[in-house]
Amino acid sequence: MESKNNKKVQVDDLLIKYIVGSATEEERDISRIWIHENSENKKYFEELKEYYLVTKVIQKPSGFNKEEGWNRIKAGYYKNRFLYNLQDKNRINKKLIIRYAISASAVLIIAFLSGFFISNYLTNKALQNSNLAFNEIIVPLGAKSQVTLSDGTKVWLNAGSKLRYPVTFLKSTREVYLDGEAFFDVTKTNKRLFIVKTSKLNIKVYGTQFNVKSYADENSIQTTLVKGSVAIESIDKSEKQTIFLKPNQSATYYKTLPNKTLSDNLSAKKTSNTIAQSTQNTEDNKISESTKKIVLVPKVDPLPITSWKDTRWVIVGEDLSHLVVKLERRYNVKISFESENLKNYKFSGILAEETFEQVLKIIQISAPIKFSIKSNNVVFSEDPLYKNNYDKMISRTAN
């Protein structure tokens, strides 16, 4: 591909297809040859890729047209008109960012090594009362792990999770104990029930795919069904009831409901844009009360809930306040806010194995937010100059 003999728009179109993964094998080969033709081509490609990332994770205010935004990015619109102020800021913080990038890389290397060795680091425990030998997997923050149980069931474990399971299952049941988040692909058997035990719930299945999020430091336990059927039971005898989930349904159990009625929580749940935002239409957004503490969402898109285990992490309408909790676990960092208002920005898009520094830059470019590093903690604060330009951009787009 001779860059001198082709129009810039043709080069962009080919590179964009290469970036988004829609290029043919021949087009990929041509793109790679052009990228490595000289340093300027490579620099241009990296710049185009960076601005494409901005369109993947971007706040979506009412009336915002993503396609139009992408076309503007291709034309250098945002770069020239709204991101100029980031240049001086980046120069000021360059040393700090580079130093933190090295630190973040070290964290990621440790995380990947932990993920590699975690399956081999199994603590065998003998339970005297049941004569069963148990394995226990503890996944540190900043890592993920996958394990195949003795019956063929596959389990993906998210950061900060712990799974305890028998070396060999009993003939009658298959029981595992979860603290954290896991995705299960359970092997179906004729008789043996598979049970996931959490601090407050038992999830019973025979053969199915589902996600359970049950961190000890969170007030809720969420079960999302992808395929098959599951039964959810509270272990509290005073609230004993069984709820059956169908595919693309999600149930959230609340450990406590302090100073609020259930109806208040249901109303808040409808407007939180976390689970309900993944539903397909207004009718599907209805949330019904199944028990005193369990809220059922009758239709969800399971992909944003389960994609944490994949190379492409899908984010849909996620408040920054909720997103930072996931980022803290995923990258083993601590994040705080100088302004509570920043927590209300919403982000949607796809992260494909970006480093933590890249995620910070995407957040910084996508919303009027700047970050600083203080004693190994990331602090988000408002960027007044960018916010002024950002508000003007949103106003013009909405009109």
Among the ranges given (209-213, 255-259, 334-338), the one the predictor scored with the smallest mean pLDDT: 255-259
Quote the pLDDT of residue 188.
87
Q: How many CB atoms lie within 10 A of CB 59?
A: 20
Quote the pLDDT of residue 373.
85
Asked whether the predicted pLDDT for residue 122 surpasses 90, the reply is: no
Distance CA 195, CA 377 (A): 39
Which pair of structure tokens corresponds to residue 386?
Answer: 């960018």
Quote the pLDDT of residue 11.
77
pLDDT tens digits for 215-252? 999 999 999 999 999 999 988 877 777 899 999 999 99
Q: Are strands 154-157 and 145-148 parallel, antiparallel or unpaired?
A: antiparallel
Asked whether the predicted pLDDT for residue 18 surpasses 80, the reply is: no
Number of residues that make up the chain: 399
Share of the chain above pLDDT 90, in %: 42
Among the ranges given (106-120, 163-177, 340-354, 364-378), the one the predictor scored with the smallest mean pLDDT: 106-120
Quote the pLDDT of residue 318.
93
Distance CA 11, CA 34 (A): 9
226 and 211 in contact (C-beta within 8 Å)? yes
Quote the pLDDT of residue 107.
38
Confidence of residue 398 (pLDDT cuts 50, 70, 90): low
Distance CA 231, CA 249 (A): 12
Quote the pLDDT of residue 363.
92
What mean pLDDT is reported for the chain? 74
Residue with the larger pLDDT of the pair 15 and 117: 15
Confidence of residue 294 (pLDDT cuts 50, 70, 90): confident
Distance CA 383, CA 390 (A): 10
pLDDT tens digits for 64-96? 444 554 554 555 544 443 343 344 334 434 333
The closest of 357, 328, 364, 363 to 101, measured between CA atoms, is 357
Residue with the larger pLDDT of the pair 49 and 202: 202
272 and 231 in contact (C-beta within 8 Å)? no
pTM > 0.75: no
The Cα-based distances of 159 to 114, 327, 330 in angstroms read: 11, 10, 6
Instruction: Compute the average pLDDT of residues 362-383.
Output: 88
Contacts with 399 (C-beta within 8 Å, 6 or more apart), sequence order: none
